[in-house]
Amino acid sequence: MEGSSSQSGNSSTNTAHEEDGFIMPDDKVEELLKNLTKPSYLYALKLHFENLQNEFSSQVLANSLEALVDTPFNHYSKESVARLELHLRTLVTALERICFSPIVLSKELRDKVYNSLTRFSEIHRKTTQVIEIGLDNNFRSNFNQFNQQNNSQDEQIIKKCNYNIDFLLIHLRDTLHSLRDDETWFQEIIRRIKDFLKAALNITPGILSTTGVTLPNDNCSILLMLTQIRQSLSFKYPVASYYVDWRIMLIIQHNLLIWSENEKIISKKFGELVLMEYIWSFLESEWVNAADKSILDSQTKFDEVSNKVTKALQNTGGFLNDLAGNEPIALPHTLWFGILDLAQNLIQRSSRIAIYCLCYYLAIESLNKAPSSLIQFKSIELLLHLYNIDNEMFSMIEIDFDQYAQKLSENNLEDSSEKFRNLLNFTKEKYLEDLKILSNNIGKGKGLNQNSYLKKEPSLNSNILNVIADEITCPISNEPTDQLCILKCEHVLSLNNLKKLKQKICPNCREKIEDNDIRYLPQNSIYKNLYTKFFESGHIIPSIKSGNSDQLDQLYDSDDSDNSVVSHTLTKKKKFMNSIIKLNSKISSSILSRITKKQHPTYQNIIKEINDKNYKKAESLCKERLNYSPKSYSLRCILAYIYRCLNNYEQAHLYLKEAIILNPKKPIAYYIRGEIYFRQSKYNEAMDSLYESLDYKVKLNNLYIICGNIHLLRNYYGDDHETIENYKIALKNDPNNYLCLKNCAYSYNKKGDDINTLKMLDKLLNIDEKDSLILCYYGEILCNLTQYNKAILYFTKANIIDPENIHNLNRRAITYYILQEYNKVLLDLDKIIQLDPLNSSAYYFKSLTYYTKKDINNTKILFNKYTEILESQSIDNDLAKIQLFHLEYLLNINSHPDLNDILTKINQIPNISENELLLLIRCKIHIELNKYYKAKVDLDTLFKLNNQYKYYYKTFSYLHLLQKHSKIWPYLYKVYDDLTDLGIVSEFNKYMYKERNIYFISNLTNLNSELFQFQESDISSLSGLVLCSKNEKLRLDLPLLKNYGWIYLICKINVKKILSKDCSIKFILNNDYQKDYMLKHEVVSKLEELGWIEYQTPVYSPYNSQLSIEINSIEMQIDYIRFGSNANTITYIPDMSLMSYLLPDYHQLFSNVPETFKDKYFPRKEMENLLDLKDILDNL
């Protein structure tokens, strides 16, 4: 019945009922529901629901569903078959309106609808029997036999079956399964698909630009979009496997209808062409699966499953009972059937001849590839409908049927050929019956084949292919194309030619082109499947015939730009194009289409097979083509790519070597070779090849990403810088490249550049604010910057998204400890232990937290648990030793025998002089045991280690921990000269100046009493005193200080507040080697509110220097200055007064997010998937 309806039929029936006095949609529905046994009422109701401009109340929709379920069927005849199909289509339409409305059906109503499927299935069976056996036989037989049909009769019925009804029953069953009773989730799915479509078609204003934005350029983009949508679809109850794609197509159709008919944001023509492309795309997938199989390969399986489906529908139980089982059974190729049904529905709605012609080709293709009678039936029905629309244009359909039957016979399928002719006759009879109902609905006096009810465009060209070609032909290149743009004026241009227009004016009507008015129209599937027909019919012109087929092959396959045949043919082609294209002279002549090897059908087939991942077939085609073009650089590069996809790197390298020998100055072979070397982890060889590619001017963004990845993974000295430089280039061209941003963030982090790390992480969170790993990583970097409260916010966001991430919980627990929120520490540690009962570090940290809370009993219990885990799991790494000895030291701090035992165990560890925290623990034990000389040796070793790695500041945190041990300091001090001329009075300050090259600024108060007003106490300072500029201008004149070499001036400062944009910090070095150095507002503003930092200036002096510091319009504390060298300009100093018993830099004992989640953060599959076929083809 679907194929028999029409547009003017809609208006005729609607008008008749409007004249009866019910205009409002709800009123009209209620009136039509009164007599659903009349096909005219039923048909009018269906059209009423299909009109998306009509809005219905939820009650009317629910009532309609119930009325349709309760409608009686009290006899069986040929007419009742057509009525049953129409009835089910109306029921489907009503249910679809409910699906696309914020309505949740009650369990009782869903049960009622679901259970009615059994009744409808039984009606279908009995009406089919009437058709198959005949009414005369039935009346002669006992009526009981009719109701007690045996299995052999069931099998016979299948020969003459209206498969539309089977499909509609399956659709109804699975739609009811897909509906949830706990949420209106459907609206969210609609929104997601709508967003996908808007982005893909440039319906969102401004998305399409001739510069900067990459649009989908092949069928992979559509398939990727559909894959993403599939992943977002979830069903509470099991549905048949076909249903996910089927539901996506229904939502796509719904959105396009809303935009074109209701909201008018796209034209009807555009909406129909887009829907047609998606129909072809889905059917192409079905055709590919059937391509390698023989004709009617699945008929036997179909017959078996069809019987099972029929029985399943007849035995339907309670709705919820049926949902407890596995996936419901469905007919093979149900999706294929459904897509053809959508095409038939599109024909019903459309008045465009091009749509009819496209549907003709997809119906013929489906018939020729039909695996069973199911698809044969639907293809026949669609073709019959087209013939009924225009029997002149589609006059060849009867010939098509004959040729198909002959093909079955030629394949030794005589039985199948006869069955097909029976099916054809049955479908024709069925279609005529549908037309009778339609004719009665429209009104008397209208012939069935006159098509006067159809609103048609005049048929200007009887050639079907010409009509399609005209629809997708760019007026500039005068050839069909796969990437079209529809302008506001409704004219079309290819995307490539649109970009090349010097003036943004439509070549047809001269109307100005605005980016926001352009709609992107992908025609990839249609173009690809009809390419050969376009090519053979001359719509795509390969060349002007030269009379020599070898020369034609040369035109396609030669890579020699000087080839005379190519040059001659291109010249003739250009003349030909100039003769047929009469455009404004302002249009660039470069737009004229060029003829290349890429237009050769074999070449196109190779690319198609690669895109479909049929690499073996692509390999065979490529080698075959190479026999005709033995000097083809391009084919060798494509073959190398194919072998790379097959992981046959040896063969790939072989063909790349040959390609490079043929043309050593072309870059793409080097690029492919470099990427393959990267996949093989041969990083040096990869870099050599990629740099050669760059030398020959290749312009590929992914090349820079691969180079960055190589430097990142190779990790040579200096690679961090090269990694970042390559990623920066890539990000200029693709600022939202997620992989690139992640890797760049990690590279900055490795360099110690936490500010730029945060910038990269900010960009990542702008793209995906719910990436829990990035949120956790952000928190880690904030901890490095001593921004602990802010870090907690990010750890908490990550925890909400991924509450079972132990790494994140551990990081948050450490941060809570620093903030002295010990109860929250314990809560997070309890969660870790619940998730991982053998997590030794959690028990250590929990024991330490109880120790900090002075709960010694719990400390000991957890310490014992910690040691049990270490023993049972045989854990003996550095972290385990550090934590073990730290707890033992704290628990036995007052017991010298126990401390000696601990010391003995520590001393047995090899290479302890390279482990800072073990040295620190041993130093503290030496102090407790009054072994001060040995403690001094350990402390000196710590200073030496950190100075070696430019982390000298870290040792000051160790001094903070040792300050309470007053007895050690006399052993550290030597007998120093009098340093009062430097303002240094205390023994500690003398030690720090003479031994550690630290000059405390508070010493200046001993030289200038006026500075006392600027002095403040600060426990974060080792001296306990700092100077603060407060609200005044402050000049500090330092005495002549010793300096031992060409090293930089480093200041420990805390910029609290900037008071004016004229602020500055000026360093005046009174020597002949360097000028004054000033930090102005631009730099100082970046230091504000960072807390205590060491700032390394570019000020240096080779010898003793006298320094002055001027601070202007800044509230700033200054602790000390020193001469030295740090790894970074800004070094963040943690507040040791907050650390309590926590070991210095304890959080750095654990690997960060990228290293902990290496497989997720650096997905090898993504890093090895940067060689894009399109990039290769565009550069050949």
Of 145, 178, 211, the last residue of a domain is: 178
pLDDT tier, 842 (very low <50, low <70, confident <90, very high otherwise): very high
pLDDT of 886 strictly over 80: yes
Residue 204, pLDDT > 60, answer: no
What pLDDT sits at residue 185? 59
**Which position has the higher pLDDT, 576 or 343?**
343
Q: Residue 156: inside a domain, yes or no?
A: yes
Per the domain annotation, does 1112 fall within a domain? yes
- Look at 242-251, 759-768, 890-899 and tell me which has the smallest mean pLDDT: 242-251
Whether 219 has a pLDDT exceeding 50, the answer reads no
Q: What is the mean pLDDT of the chain?
A: 79
- Pick the range with the lowest mean pLDDT from 539-548, 684-693, 1100-1109: 539-548
Structure tokens at 381: 């029905």
Instruction: Report yes or no on 11 lying in a domain.
Output: yes
Give 505's DSSP letter. Answer: B
Mean of pLDDT values over 479-492:
84
What is the structure's pLDDT at 1103? Answer: 63
* Residue finishing a domain among 178, 202, 225: 178
Q: What local confidence, expressed as pLDDT, does residue 521 receive?
A: 83
pLDDT for 1180 equals 79
Cα distance between residue 437 and residue 855, in whole Å:
88
d(CA 120, CA 113): 11
- Cα–Cα distance list, 560 to 555, 563, 627, 986 (Å): 10, 6, 17, 84
What CATH number corresponds to the domain at position 1057?
2.60.120.260
- Triad 371, 372, 373: Cα angle to 5°: 145
Q: Which whole number is the average pLDDT over 591-606?
A: 60
pLDDT per position as a tens digit, 228-243: 666 666 666 666 778 8
Lookup: tokens for 152: 């052999």
Nearest partner of 925 among 958, 970, 890, 949, judged by Cα: 890
Confidence bin at 984 (pLDDT 50/70/90):
very high
Angle at 843 between CA 840 and CA 847, to 5 degrees: 145
pLDDT band at 554 (very low <50, low <70, confident <90, very high): very low
Who wins on pLDDT, 564 or 531? 531
Q: Determine the Cα–Cα distance for residues 214 and 236; give it in Å rounded to an integer.
A: 37
pLDDT digits (tens, 9 = 90+) for 899-920: 999 999 999 988 888 888 888 8
Residue 893 has pLDDT above 50, yes or no: yes
pLDDT for 224 beyond 80: no
At residue 300 the predicted structure's pLDDT band, cuts being 50, 70 and 90, is: low
Residue 808 — pLDDT band, cuts 50, 70, 90? very high
**pLDDT (average), residues 13-18:** 43
Angle at 935 between CA 934 and CA 936, to 5 degrees: 90
pTM of the entire structure? 0.52
Q: Structurally, how many domains does the chain consist of?
A: 2
> Does residue 679 sit in helix, strand or coil?
helix
Do you know the residue count of the chain? 1180
Higher confidence at residue 127 or residue 755? Answer: 755
Q: Is 738 exposed, middle or buried (0-12, 13-18, 19+ CB in 10 A)?
A: middle
Does residue 112 have a pLDDT over 50? yes
Q: 1050 forms bridges with which residues in the sheet?
A: 1096, 1122
Alpha-carbon distance 652 to 676, whole Å?
8
Q: In this structure, is residue 1152 part of a structural domain?
A: no
Could you tell me if 740 and 727 are in contact, meaning their C-beta atoms sit under 8 angstroms apart?
yes
pLDDT of 977 over the 80 cut: no
491: pLDDT strictly greater than 50: yes
The boundaries of the domain holding residue 153 are 2-178
Confidence (pLDDT) at 142? 40
Q: What is the DSSP code string of 783-851?
A: HHTT-HHHHHHHHHHHHHH-TT-HHHHHHHHHHHHHTT-HHHHHHHHHHHHHH-TT-HHHHHHHHHHHH
pLDDT digits (tens, 9 = 90+) for 359-417: 999 999 999 888 888 889 999 999 999 988 888 888 888 888 888 888 888 776 667 78
* Structure confidence at residue 311 (pLDDT): 64
Per the domain annotation, does 211 fall within a domain?
Answer: no
Instruction: Check residues 121 and 148 and name the one with the higher pLDDT.
Output: 121
- Give the pLDDT mean for 294-322: 57
Q: What is the pLDDT of residue 138?
A: 41
Last residue of a domain, one of 1126, 1144, 1161: 1126
pLDDT in tens, 1025-1068: 999 998 778 999 999 887 766 678 899 999 999 999 999 999 98
Confidence at residue 321, expressed as pLDDT on a 0 to 100 scale:
42
Q: Rounded to whole angstroms, how far apart are CA atoms 455 and 6? A: 8
The confidence band for 320, taking pLDDT boundaries of 50, 70 and 90, is very low
Point out the least confidently predicted range of 278-282, 304-308, 879-883: 304-308
- Rounded CA-CA distance 1167/706 in Å is 8
CA-to-CA distance for 266 and 255, rounded, in angstroms? 11
Question: By percentage, how much of the chain surpasses pLDDT 90?
Answer: 29
Task: Determine contact, residues 1027/1036, Cβ cutoff 8 Å.
Answer: yes
**1143-1154 mean pLDDT:** 80
Give tens-digit pLDDT for 921-938: 998 899 889 898 888 888
Pick the residue with more confidence: 44 or 1145? 44
Q: Is residue 705 part of a domain?
A: no
List, in order, residues 6 or more apart from 658 with CB less than 8 Å away: 636
Residue 1061 inside a domain? The answer is yes
- For 298-310, what is the mean pLDDT? 63
Identify whether the C-beta of residue 1077 lies closer than 8 Å to the C-beta of residue 1098. Answer: yes
Question: What DSSP string runs through 850-888?
Answer: HHHTT-HHHHHHHHHHHHHHHHHTT--SHHHHHHHHHHH
d(CA 521, CA 485): 5
pLDDT class of 944 with cuts at 50, 70, 90: confident
pLDDT for position 750: 87
Residue with structure tokens 């490529």? 622
Whether 380 and 406 have beta carbons less than 8 Å apart is answered as no
CA-wise closest residue to 814 among 1138, 582, 416, 531: 1138
Residue-level pLDDT at 571: 47
| C-alpha distances out from residue 956 to 412, 886, 990, 1135, Å | 92, 19, 15, 11
Tell me: the pLDDT tens digits for 1078-1123?
Answer: 999 999 999 998 889 999 988 776 666 788 999 999 999 999 998 8
802 within domain boundaries: no
What is the structure's pLDDT at 306? Answer: 64
Alpha-carbon distance of 29 to 34, in angstroms, equals 9
pLDDT of residue 207 exceeding 50: no
Q: In this model, does residue 502 exceed pLDDT 80? A: no
Q: How far out from the chain centre does Cα 665 lie?
A: 36
Beta-bridged to residue 1080, according to DSSP, are 1064
Bridge partners, residue 436, by sequence: none
Rounded Cα distance between 120 and 76, Å, is 12
* Of 580 and 137, more confident: 137
State which H helix or E strand residue 1051 sits in.
Answer: strand 1047-1058
Q: How much is the pLDDT for 816?
A: 95
pLDDT at 951: 62
User: What pLDDT shows up at residue 110?
Assistant: 86
Residue 329 pLDDT > 70: yes
Which pLDDT score is estimated for 328? 67
